[in-house]
């Protein structure tokens, strides 16, 4: 990365900041619309249509991919000199909103509880700013409005299969995510692994059930499943490097329906989260072997299905550090912090496997206003001044970010 030769345009800095400030209220209104009409993963047809209408009104060419994904292109001066992608996810969660706000979700049991309405709004705002300043920056910006982030197999994987990273191929990709634990006006970055992989675990224990008063005439599936829950933790504690973060949690135990019958079948569900891809797949093998041997030892039929989910989110060090420096130029170094590692998962990791990636956080917390709820909760909300900051930083990165490996 030739960061030493980069000289930010202070005129462009002020221009983007002015436009972000001027357009803030109109894009907050867009956020309110998106928040009121949330749609679940792979069902974002109205959301997709709304995004298409916004881009069409701006005069930005676009195409639809993976049914509800919308891909736009903005060309500055010398379009082939640089291509950078900016991504926003558009789907909502199956959560009943409890916020008492005028723009509360009108759809029962569906809510933008992870901030995807904010991400979409910020990218739309950045698109307008980039379009209006295209004479001041070089290259091409690819806008990716992505469906299905919240549900396997992940909209990112579907878009990649359909060629979203080709024609033109981006040198790198960036995405922001709301951070309810970071104060308004702050951004946070981190190089290297920033979020975990996520795999779903489904276990079945079968055998001869029977009367609970005569366990010797059965093969106790409840007991075997209980041993499985406890012993699975040894996969982590006795095989994984303690300096390599990893979590295995069993979150569902279903079996039996009365006090005096040992059931013939028990089902368990859980999740495996890893920060290292090699260890992740080694853990899969260890889990399968453990299930086989424990079932044999306890005289039951025990099986596991591992639904392989999102990979780790790996921020390219060169691209991430360049983005951090750009953000400091735009916001001031005092407003840039270090993002903590999280065991949560994001399908942005699929992009990071293909091209250099930067996944960063935007502060949305305001304790004085009581805005502190975490994502995936029924009371999640943001300080909407974050819209101005989010669309401004996305436009700024779109105008300047590039990948060139440090030598």
DSSP state of 342: B
Domain CATH for 153 = 3.40.630.10
Residues pairing with 206 in the sheet: 265, 301
281 and 352: one domain? no
260 and 301: one domain? yes
Domain boundary among 278, 307, 336: 307
Give the 3-state secondary structure of residue 205.
Answer: strand
User: pLDDT class for 7, splitting at 50, 70, 90?
Assistant: low
pLDDT tens-digit series, residues 132-162 = 999 999 999 999 999 999 999 999 999 999 9
340 and 282: one domain? no
φ and ψ at residue 158, rounded to 5 degrees: -70, -45
User: pLDDT class for 404, splitting at 50, 70, 90?
Assistant: confident
266 and 242: one domain? yes
Q: Is residue 57 part of a domain?
A: yes
pLDDT tens-digit series, residues 189-231 = 999 999 999 999 999 999 999 999 999 999 999 999 999 999 9
201 and 264: one domain? yes
Q: Is residue 407 part of a domain?
A: no
Query: How many CA atoms are closer than 13 Å to the CA of 119, on its beta-carbon side?
Result: 28
pLDDT tens-digit series, residues 36-57 = 999 999 999 999 999 999 999 9
Instruction: Give how many domains the chain has, as a whole number.
Output: 2
Cα dihedral value 66, 131, 38, 183, nearest 10: 120
187 and 88: one domain? yes
Residue 108 corresponds to which tokens in the numbers above? 């029962």
pTM for this prediction: 0.93
Q: Is residue 405 part of a domain?
A: no
Domain boundary among 251, 276, 307: 307
H and E: helices and strands count for the chain: 10, 16
Per the structure, the complete domain to which residue 209 belongs is given by 197-307
């Amino acid at each position: 990365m030739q960061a030493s030769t980069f000289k930010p345009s202070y005129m462009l800095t002020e221009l983007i900041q002015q436009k972000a400030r001027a357009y803030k209220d109109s894009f907050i209104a867009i956020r309110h619309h998106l928040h009121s009409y949330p749609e679940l993963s792979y069902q974002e047809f109205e959301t997709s249509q709304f995004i298409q209408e916004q881009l069409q009104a701006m005069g930005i060419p676009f195409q639809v991919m993976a049914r509800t994904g919308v891909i736009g292109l903005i060309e500055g001066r010398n379009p082939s000199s640089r291509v950078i992608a900016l991504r926003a996810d558009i789907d909502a969660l199956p959560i009943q909103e409890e916020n008492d706000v005028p723009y509360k979700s009108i759809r029962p049991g569906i809510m933008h509880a992870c901030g995807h309405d904010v991400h979409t709004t910020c990218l739309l705002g950045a698109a307008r700013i980039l379009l209006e300043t295209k004479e001041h920056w070089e290259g091409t910006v690819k806008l990716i409005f992505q469906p299905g982030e919240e549900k396997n197999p992940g909209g990112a994987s579907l878009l990649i299969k359909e060629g979203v990273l080709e024609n033109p191929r981006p040198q790198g990709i960036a995405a922001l995510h709301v951070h309810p634990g970071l104060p308004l006006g702050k951004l946070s970055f981190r190089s290297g692994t920033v979020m975990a992989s996520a795999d779903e675990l489904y276990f079945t224990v079968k055998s001869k059930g029977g009367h609970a008063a005569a366990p010797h005439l059965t093969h106790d599936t409840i007991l075997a499943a209980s041993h499985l829950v406890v012993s699975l933790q040894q996969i982590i504690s006795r095989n994984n490097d303690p300096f390599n973060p990893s979590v295995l949690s069993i979150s569902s135990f279903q079996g039996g329906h009365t006090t005096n019958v040992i059931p013939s079948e028990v089902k368990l569900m859980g999740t495996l989260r890893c920060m290292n891809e090699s260890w992740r797949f080694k853990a899969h093998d260890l889990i399968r072997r453990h299930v086989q041997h424990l079932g044999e030892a306890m005289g039951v039929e025990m099986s596991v299905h591992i639904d392989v989910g999102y990979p780790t989110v790996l921020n390219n060090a060169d691209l991430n550090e360049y983005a951090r420096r750009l953000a400091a130029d735009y916001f001031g170094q005092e407003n840039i912090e270090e993002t903590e590692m999280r065991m949560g998962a994001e399908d942005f990791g699929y992009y990071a496997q293909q091209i250099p990636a930067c996944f960063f956080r935007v502060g949305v917390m305001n304790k004085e206003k009581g805005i502190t709820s975490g994502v995936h909760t029924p009371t999640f909300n943001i300080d909407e001044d974050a819209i101005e900051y989010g669309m401004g930083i996305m436009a700024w990165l779109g105008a300047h970010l590039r990948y060139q490996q440090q030598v």
